[in-house]
Structure 1
Amino acid sequence: MGLGDRMVSNGFQIPAGWTGRLGGLLMASGNAATERHIADLVPEVRSKDVLVLGPGPGIGVHALLARGASVVAVDPSPVMLAATLRRCRGLCEQGATLTLRTGTATSHGVGHGTVDVAVSVNNVMIWPDRVAGLTSIRQVLRPGGELLVSAHEKWLKPGLPDDCREAGFAVEQEWRWEPPGRGASTAVQLRARVASA
């Protein structure tokens, strides 16, 4: 693996070391509007249990906690989990409920049927097996549970709605969103629910 590949892997895929911290700063800047936008799409968030996959530096987690959600944040990177904790420490000291777990979409340690909403912002593009990840997420959602996904359009492989359906979701909506700010990347966003049995 060359230096460029290591920087991408350590900076964004599984952030580690100084490149991970730099990647976290770039994510906090470039993804902030999208993170807050997706958090705002969670309906009646107060008292809901929300799973955040790949919280990065924790901007979306902070927004959800501030609105009264209980959050489980799962990331393969200890650097990003530490950044999330730093960002959310004040809310946690005021009584917000945050659980941090090292893991992935397919290996997260979250119990079946324990979550109301699952959120993924700008990481579904790097999941090694998207259907397996979505299936695992569907299993942790309660009946009627909701999935909200946002991904950089330029890096997203086609077929996300079909993959969601294969994983047992009913896709309700898919749309494009233009984040504000210079250099922001067009996002593909999707809302789905656990399909009725």
Structure 2
Amino acid sequence: MGRRRLWTGAPPGRNPFALPRGLRGRLAGRIMARANRACNAELLAWLDVRAGTHVLEVGCGPGVLVELLTRRPDVRVTAVDPSAEMVAMAQRRNARAVRRGRVHIHPGDAAATGVDDGRVDLAISVNTVAMWPRLDDGMAELHRVLRSGGRAVIAWHRRPARFALAGEELSAVEAALANRFGNAERTILRGSVVFSAVKCG
């Protein structure tokens, strides 16, 4: 863990939000659940997820976006996170939907979701892209799991400003998405910068 570095060049160090583990990780999960709810709700309103959509969330954390997605009719959700603590928290938060088979939550990361090729309509990452070790590996995985016409959506903090990525880092995310998908669009929401692309062919 000490030698692992992120694509931004920064080491994750002992930051409990980078890879939540143990008691500190569970506390971080509770903080994330409160702090990110408004951001998740804003993104979901912008996305307008329709009935019948199969969504993959990469880096689901404590499962707040999963919970909000299950309030939409006939939406199925697969969610992955590299943290065992976050997987457990997300499963508890969404226990009823898990029992009903609408939600599947398991260990995984941006480069290895465990989802079959072309299985999802919408792949989302919220406030996790800066934690990916290799940016292009994550983009390749999103492209692989999406069906033709499916959409990849990557959001990162705009507010509070102390969490915002630098301009060149935002440009790197946009360029990596465009390189893999052949297209990319940047949208500014109140709390997030959102990058999206559609899989063609």
Offset of residue 44 of structure 1: 4.2
- Give identity over the alignment, percent: 30
- The reply on whether 1:168 has 2:168 as its aligned counterpart is no
Residue equivalent to 2:157:
152
Which of 40, 47, 51 does residue 52 from structure 2 map onto? 47
Aligned-partner residue type, residue 75 of structure 2: A
Where do 5+ consecutive residues of structure 2 fail to align? Answer: 3-11, 159-163
Residue equivalent to 2:148:
143
Q: 3-state SS of the aligned residue for 2:17?
A: helix
Which of 106, 131, 135 does residue 101 from structure 1 map onto? 106
- Distance in 1 between residues matched to 2:156 and 2:136, nearest whole Å: 15
RMSD: 1.8
Offset of residue 170 of structure 1: 1.9
TM-score by length of 1: 0.85
- Distance in 2 between residues matched to 1:169 and 1:115, nearest whole Å: 19
- The reply on whether 1:77 has 2:83 as its aligned counterpart is yes
Offset of residue 106 of structure 1: 0.8
Residue equivalent to 1:88:
94
Offset of residue 118 of structure 1: 0.3
- Distance in 2 between residues matched to 1:91 and 1:128, nearest whole Å: 31
User: For each residue in 1:63-101, what CA deviation from the matched residue of structure 2 results, as whole angstroms up to 9, or x when unmatched?
Assistant: 1111131111010011111111111113345x3511112
Residues matched between the structures, number: 182
Native 8 Å contact 1:138 1:169 kept in 2: no
Q: 3-state SS of the aligned residue for 1:167?
A: helix
Q: 3-state SS of the aligned residue for 1:109?
A: coil
Aligned-partner residue type, residue 35 of structure 2: G
Native 8 Å contact 2:97 2:103 kept in 1: no
Native 8 Å contact 2:63 2:90 kept in 1: yes
